[in-house]
Amino acid sequence: MQKSPSLRGLLRFQSSRAGAFLAVFLLIAAGPVLAQTAPGDAEFRQAVDKFIESELKMFPERATELGDHRFDDRLDDISAAGIAAEIRHAGEWKRRFESIDPKTLSPANEADREWLAARCDGELLYTEELRTYQRDPGMYLPTSAVYSLIQRDFASPAQRMKSVTAREIASRKNFQYARENLRPERVAPVAIDICLEQMPATIAFFEKSLPQAFASVPDGPDKRAFEAANRAVIDAITRYGDWLRNDLRPRAAGNYAIGAAAYRRMLADADMVDVPLDKLEAIGVAELARLQDALRKTAAQIDPNATPAEVVARLAKEHPAPDRIIPEVSQGLAALRAFVVEHHLATIPSQVQPIVAETPPFMRATTFASMDTPGPLEKSTEAYFYVTLPDPSWPSKQVEQLLAFYSPPTISDTSVHEVYPGHYVQFLNNRLNPDKVRTIYHSGSNSEGWALYCEQMMLEEGLHSGDPRYRLAQLQMALMRACRYLVGIRMHTKGMAVDEAAAFFEKNAYQTAHNARVEALRGTDDPGYLRYQLGKLMILKLREDVKKNEGAAFDLGRFHDRFLAQGAIPVPLIRRAMLGSEGSLF
């Protein structure tokens, strides 16, 4: 799971061969995008620049995450007037992009035009149709907007403290907007429950972590202003939690499901996948069965006298203690990087390794691990591989259930997904793309699909020398994504309840009760978490078709570099670039 758009790596290379790989990569990436030979290309790129600038101004929190710090003292405007402005902005740009004659653009620019129009429609889906601002109590908390100002040293602590102070002062209005915007008939009770579950960690972040980030700033007017603003925010968040718990929660009667029509539109916008939902579900059912059969056979290799569930449970007990998880995750990254380089599986244009760190507690309720890389406009090179550790206050049974996620084989599989050659490598490559559209905007089925594809591909290429324990872990994680695929469709289009979803994860992906419930809760808030498997299946089909076209000349590392050179745009657009037409996606 990747958290932010991209990473500025230090472009140092291990060998002249790596330099040659980079040169090839730059030619592949720059060629179709920068060679503006069609009559409308120059005018289109000017429009793109204006669009991106307008987006940065309208969404200052997004600008900070991307690495543009001109608006660090502002928050997104989520008042009624601000929401109306967002809708006008998305609608106007969607119409503008759709009005451009595709015949006047080169293929790469035409792909960008389609992608930007689809993204604008996605903004309209969530803001105008689904009206997320009426459904999501979590969007009014300033936690992420403030955290993005302290997680990297892009400016002096004193300067960033001023920006935090300004955002904290501005955030007080958000709690009033929440009371005005949230509709009891549209807010699902579980959305409030998730928000309240994370509230103690959220308050602890403002009480402890935030002041610690600025402990080095000397006392003075700015420090006192920050302390006053921080106390006010803590008080406002506490009162907001009380309001959610005592006022809104008893009246909440909404449904987290977005419905079949919105689900189809979501996939068409964010992933450019226009396939009937019943066909998508059938593909998911078949893949789940295939993976379950493979897991049964692999478990029998480990212990033919035990059931698959018993083998999975036994391996899950072999995990490090909580205080050893981060060191062991860190130690394994170098070996994974070396394997990718030695087997020429993908170009890694940086020697900088991400920092392994604990998931911020306010994010702990819905994630086990994630990659947080600096934005493409960021000067800082700090990238974080977050792993979720148990809350010290948890009972021992809950702690043990979470730690089941951290057996050595699962640590390896997760590190492949998040770092080498998954999210981290993809976003290192994205930073080299001269096309702003492809550095700033990414499709989830591309980025998550690539990371999940890498889990399978690395073992197929010989990682861990066929050890069935590692294959079992990879299959179990693939089963979890296969369950996400089906649960996402069924929760949001067929009425599947949270308890049903949790039971589905326990039964079909061998998840512990705690971990299964985390997955089910995430599904209520993330209807698109089918994208992991959706993207993986499309990438596998693309690889198969390219290999068929190239025959004996096919080279896996070259295929990966060509794929990464396109940026994280929707896979159907990459199919068109690499094959000449989209053809069959699956």
Closest CA to 289 of 485, 461, 96: 485
Q: Is residue 187 part of a domain?
A: yes
- C-alpha dihedral, 544 to 546 to 548 to 549, nearest 10°: 170
Which range among 201-215, 308-322, 386-400, 479-493 shows the weakest confidence by mean pLDDT? 386-400
| Mean pLDDT score, 384-403 | 86
Neighbours of 215 (CB within 10 A): 7
- Total domains in the chain come to 1
The string of DSSP letters for 143-198 reads HHHHHHHHSS-SS-HHHHHHHHHHHHHHHHHHHHHHHHH--TTTS-HHHHHHHHHH
| Mean pLDDT score, 501-510 | 96
Q: Is residue 478 part of a domain?
A: no
Residue 5 has a pLDDT of: 36
Q: Is residue 166 part of a domain?
A: yes
Closest CA to 185 of 255, 81, 136: 255
Q: Is residue 245 part of a domain?
A: yes
The pLDDT mean for the chain works out to: 91
Residue 369 has a pLDDT of: 84
The sheet carrying 355-358 orders its strands as 355-358, 384-387, 369-372
| Mean pLDDT score, 354-377 | 81
Q: Is residue 176 part of a domain?
A: yes
| Mean pLDDT score, 362-381 | 79
Residue 363 has a pLDDT of: 65
pLDDT classification of 367: cutoffs 50, 70, 90: low
Q: What angle do CA 387, 389, 390 make, to 5 degrees?
A: 155
What are the Cα distances from residue 297, in Å, to 167, 407, 505?
A: 54, 20, 20
Decide if 575 contacts 582 (C-beta within 8 A). yes
Does the pLDDT of residue 16 top 70, yes or no? Answer: no
Both tokens of 477, joined, read: 């994680």
Q: What is the pTM of this model?
A: 0.90
Closest CA to 576 of 555, 534, 551, 545: 545
Residue 12 has a pLDDT of: 25
pLDDT tens column, 49-107: 999 999 999 999 999 999 999 999 999 999 999 999 999 999 999 999 999 999 999 99
Residue 9 has a pLDDT of: 29
CA distance 453 to 412: 14
| Mean pLDDT score, 266-292 | 98
Q: Is residue 233 part of a domain?
A: yes
CA distance 413 to 408: 9
Residue 365 has a pLDDT of: 57
Q: Is residue 192 part of a domain?
A: yes
Q: Whole domain around residue 194: which residue ranges?
A: 137-251
Cα Rg of the chain (Å, integer): 23
Does the pLDDT of residue 13 top 60, yes or no? Answer: no
Place of tokens 């699902």: 188
